[in-house]
């Protein structure tokens, strides 16, 4: 670690510290954004559930509108309501498609809803088409067809409704015979009154104009020829057994009435219409058999009548067409009932499915809210921990970097203090090859202390040698000379040891210079700032040591002779 930090300059260390703090800050910001993204994702999930609920409610509302339009069509049988139902269904399909785009669960629900709605739509269109065939009003479809036929049948039945005329004719004939039997003028007056009433009935009847005119002509003949017969009868004359032109005219009138008489035809047709309308009103299956039975009875009435065969064929044809159209309408009504039940069944299945989707969305949202609450609390705690750790790590990095800078500065300050007021013995720890300015200052300060110590030791040893020489020169006895020689020998040995130390340091400087020169030769033209400073320091160190060695050769020679002695 020391070697790594020694390769960094103070600015680089400060920059590294700021970088690490920035990375911590970036990490905190990244964690914040990750937390925010998670919260936004959770919110989007909740929003998905809300969208599901909202669309489900809209589908319910739109389905209710569809059913309302459908019911109004079935009640009022108007195309506008069928078109409105189709428009509502298209809107409902769009809502379901929007639900399918929400999520996977909604997509499955939407697929089931689409199937049910398609079934409902098919059944509704089938019901609408069946009603169009059946007839949306009394003038369209099968309803209009059989209504037209029965109206023609009813109109023709009025032409054959001569029951009252026939009864009136019988009343006239009876009064005519009473006159012949009783010879009472009251019966003549009664015949006259009945003839007038017959004329009135004839004029107001629904008979064809030609038939009415023929009957009126015969009635005039009868009334004219009856008067002479009545006079004879009242006078008691010969009435020839009640025979005469009036009798022949009456027979002709009766023959004409028989030719246009179907007993109770109009009443039977009205009864037929009654049962038909009962079925249209109530839809009860018991009425169609009644209509068929009445139609058969009308056929029997027509078949037993004395009307012309062409008239019978016309009435039979109209009755057959009416019955056929009515039974087709009954079949369509039954088909509409079946399709309506299937349509309602499909629609009834939609609402539970939508409700299930809403319930599922509510459950999932409640569960997700609980999970989000729990995870939010956990993320909040984690965020606090991350921020606290970032603050602690930032402070720790600041302390570590500061201490690594300040510690050596304090060591150098203490060493300088020792250098100024004493003899320093400790050194600033340094790393060889370091780029750190503090490391370079430590190396320089160590070199300064070493040089000072070398000079001081050289000076002390030189002074000891001078003193020994002085004592040797001034010695008067052999003992003093021997002691002085020992001191001189000790001083020479000490200087020699110091020279060996200087030699070793010169060798180190030389090896360093050699190493740098080899690197320069390996990469010519490239001299790093570190190598340049190392060369400078080595050169100055060698120069300083050489200055120490630049002394007088005499003492050294003498010391050498002393050593040899």
Tokens of 450: 């070493």
Tokens of 381: 């705690």
Tokens of 245: 């032109």
| Contact of 112 with 353, CB cutoff 8 Å | yes
pLDDT of residue 205: 80
Q: What is the mean pLDDT of the chain?
A: 78
| pLDDT tens sequence across 235-244 | 877 777 777 7
Q: Which helix (H) or strand (E) holds 184?
A: none
pLDDT of 545 > 80? The answer is no
Q: Between the CA of residue 376 and those of 163, 193, 361, 387, 496, what are the distances in Å?
A: 98, 111, 21, 16, 80
pLDDT of residue 559: 43
| Contact of 551 with 466, CB cutoff 8 Å | no
Q: Return d(Cα 490, Cα 259) in angstroms, integer.
A: 183
**CA-derived radius of gyration, the chain:** 69
Tokens of 301: 């009435």
| Burial profile 354-387: b = 16 or more Cβ within 10 angstroms, e = fewer | beebbebbeebbeeeeeebeeeeeebeeeeeebe
As a whole number, mean pLDDT of residues 258-284 equals 79
pLDDT of residue 554: 42
Portion of the chain with pLDDT greater than 90, in percent: 4
pLDDT of 379 > 80? The answer is no
Q: Return d(Cα 58, Cα 308) in angstroms, integer.
A: 69
As a whole number, mean pLDDT of residues 196-200 equals 91
Taken in order 30, 35, 36, 38, the sign of the CA dihedral is: positive
Q: Return d(Cα 383, Cα 402) in angstroms, integer.
A: 28
Q: Would you place residue 524 in the very low, low, confident or very high pLDDT band (cuts 50, 70, 90)? A: low
pLDDT of residue 558: 45
The neighbour count for residue 475, using CB atoms within 10 Å, is 15
Unique residue bearing structure tokens 């009472």: 184
pLDDT of residue 18: 77
Q: Would you place residue 90 in the very low, low, confident or very high pLDDT band (cuts 50, 70, 90)? A: very high
Tokens of 407: 């510690």
pLDDT of 538 > 80? The answer is no
Q: Between the CA of residue 214 and those of 142, 256, 305, 306, 311, what are the distances in Å?
A: 39, 9, 20, 18, 18
pLDDT of 390 > 90? The answer is no
pLDDT of residue 549: 60
Q: Return d(Cα 241, Cα 395) in angstroms, integer.
A: 153
Between 299 and 154, name the one with better pLDDT: 299
Q: Would you place residue 289 in the very low, low, confident or very high pLDDT band (cuts 50, 70, 90)? A: very high
Q: What does the domain layout of the chain look like in residue ranges?
A: 9-136+336-384, 161-259, 437-564
| pLDDT tens sequence across 150-173 | 777 777 776 666 778 888 888 998
pLDDT of residue 552: 43
pLDDT of residue 194: 92
pLDDT of residue 562: 42
pLDDT of 249 > 80? The answer is yes
pLDDT of 561 > 60? The answer is no
CA diameter of the chain: 235
Residue 345's φ and ψ, nearest 5 degrees, are: -65, -45
| pLDDT tens sequence across 18-76 | 787 788 778 878 877 777 777 777 666 667 777 877 888 888 888 889 889 988 988 88
As a whole number, mean pLDDT of residues 266-270 equals 80
| Contact of 266 with 154, CB cutoff 8 Å | yes
pLDDT of residue 435: 64
Q: Return d(Cα 329, Cα 288) in angstroms, integer.
A: 10
| 366-367-369 Cα angle (round to 5) | 65
Q: Return d(Cα 68, Cα 334) in angstroms, integer.
A: 22
pLDDT of 536 > 80? The answer is no
As a whole number, mean pLDDT of residues 103-128 equals 86
pLDDT of residue 8: 66
For 316, how many CA atoms within 13 A lie in the half-sphere containing its CB? 14
| pLDDT tens sequence across 419-474 | 777 677 677 777 766 666 777 777 777 777 777 777 777 777 778 778 878 887 88
**What CATH fold (topology level) applies to the domain 9-136+336-384?**
de novo design (two linked rop proteins) (1.20.1440)
Q: Which of 455, 459, 485 is nearest to 470 (CA)?
A: 485
| pLDDT tens sequence across 487-502 | 778 878 877 777 777 7
Q: What are the E-state strand segments in 93-141?
A: none
Tokens of 50: 């809300």
Q: Would you place residue 511 in the very low, low, confident or very high pLDDT band (cuts 50, 70, 90)? A: confident
The neighbour count for residue 438, using CB atoms within 10 Å, is 23
Q: Kindly report the pTM of this predicted structure.
A: 0.51
Unique residue bearing structure tokens 């049962």: 275
| pLDDT tens sequence across 391-434 | 888 788 777 777 767 777 777 777 787 777 767 767 777 776 66
Q: Return d(Cα 430, Cα 407) in angstroms, integer.
A: 12
pLDDT of residue 553: 43
Q: Which residues contact 562 (CB under 8 A, 6 or more apart)?
A: 485, 488, 489, 492
Q: Which residues contact 561 (CB under 8 A, 6 or more apart)?
A: none
Portion of the chain with pLDDT greater than 70, in percent: 84
Number of H helices, E strands in the chain: 16, 0
Residue 89's φ and ψ, nearest 5 degrees, are: -65, -40
């Amino acid at each position: 670690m020391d070697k790594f930090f020694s390769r960094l300059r103070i600015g680089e260390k400060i920059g590294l510290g700021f970088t690490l703090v920035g990375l911590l800050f970036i990490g905190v910001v990244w964690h914040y954004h990750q937390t925010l993204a998670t919260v936004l994702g959770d919110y989007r999930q909740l929003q998905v559930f809300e969208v599901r609920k909202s669309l489900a409610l809209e589908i319910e509302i739109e389905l209710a509108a569809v059913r309302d339009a459908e019911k109004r069509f079935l009640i009022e049988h108007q195309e506008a309501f069928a078109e409105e139902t189709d428009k509502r269904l298209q809107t409902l399909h769009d809502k379901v498609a929007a639900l399918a785009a929400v999520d996977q669960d909604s997509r499955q629900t939407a697929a089931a809803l689409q199937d049910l709605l398609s079934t409902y739509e098919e059944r509704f269109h089938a019901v609408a088409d069946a009603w169009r065939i059946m007839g949306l009003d009394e003038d369209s479809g099968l309803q209009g067809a059989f209504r037209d036929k029965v109206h023609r049948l009813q109109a023709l039945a009025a032409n054959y409704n001569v029951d009252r005329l026939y009864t009136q004719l019988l009343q006239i004939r009876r009064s005519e015979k009473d006159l012949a039997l009783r010879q009472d003028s009251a019966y003549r007056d009664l015949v006259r009154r009945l003839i007038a009433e017959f004329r009135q009935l004839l004029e107001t009847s629904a008979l064809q104009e030609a038939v009415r005119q023929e009957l009126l002509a015969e009635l005039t003949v009868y009334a004219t020829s009856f008067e002479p017969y009545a006079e004879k009868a009242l006078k008691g004359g010969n009435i020839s057994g009640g025979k005469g032109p009036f009798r022949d005219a009456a027979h002709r009138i009766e023959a004409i009435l028989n030719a246009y008489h179907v007993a109770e035809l109009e009443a039977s047709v009205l009864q037929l219409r009654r049962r038909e309308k009962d079925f249209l009103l109530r839809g009860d299956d018991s009425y169609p058999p009644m209509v068929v039975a009445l139609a058969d009875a009308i056929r029997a009435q027509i078949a037993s009548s004395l009307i012309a065969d062409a008239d019978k064929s016309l009435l039979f044809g109209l009755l057959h067409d009416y019955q056929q159209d009515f039974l087709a309408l009954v079949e369509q009504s039954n088909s509409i009932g079946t399709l309506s039940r299937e349509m309602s069944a499909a629609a009834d299945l939609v609402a539970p499915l939508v409700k299930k989707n809403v319930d599922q969305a509510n459950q999932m949202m409640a569960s997700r809210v609980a999970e989000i609450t729990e995870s939010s609390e956990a993320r909040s705690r984690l965020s606090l921990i991350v921020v606290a750790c970032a603050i602690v790590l930032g402070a720790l990095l600041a302390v570590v970097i500061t201490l690594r800078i300040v510690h050596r500065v304090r060591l150098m300050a203490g060493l300088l203090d020792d250098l100024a007021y004493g003899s320093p013995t400790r050194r600033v720890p340094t790393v060889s090859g370091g780029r750190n300015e503090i490391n370079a200052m430590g190396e320089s300060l160590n070199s300064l202390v070493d040089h000072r110590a070398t000079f001081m030791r050289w000076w002390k040893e030189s002074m000891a040698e001078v003193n020994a020489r002085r004592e040797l020169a001034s010695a008067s006895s052999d003992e003093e000379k021997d002691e002085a020689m020992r001191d001189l020998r000790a001083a020479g040995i000490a200087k020699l040891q110091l020279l060996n130390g200087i030699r070793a340091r010169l060798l180190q400087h030389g090896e360093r210079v050699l190493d740098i020169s080899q690197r320069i030769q390996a990469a010519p033209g490239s001299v790093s700032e570190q190598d340049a400073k190392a060369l400078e320091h080595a050169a100055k160190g060698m120069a300083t040591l050489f200055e120490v060695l630049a002394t007088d050769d005499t003492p050294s020679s003498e010391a050498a002779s002393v050593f040899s002695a």
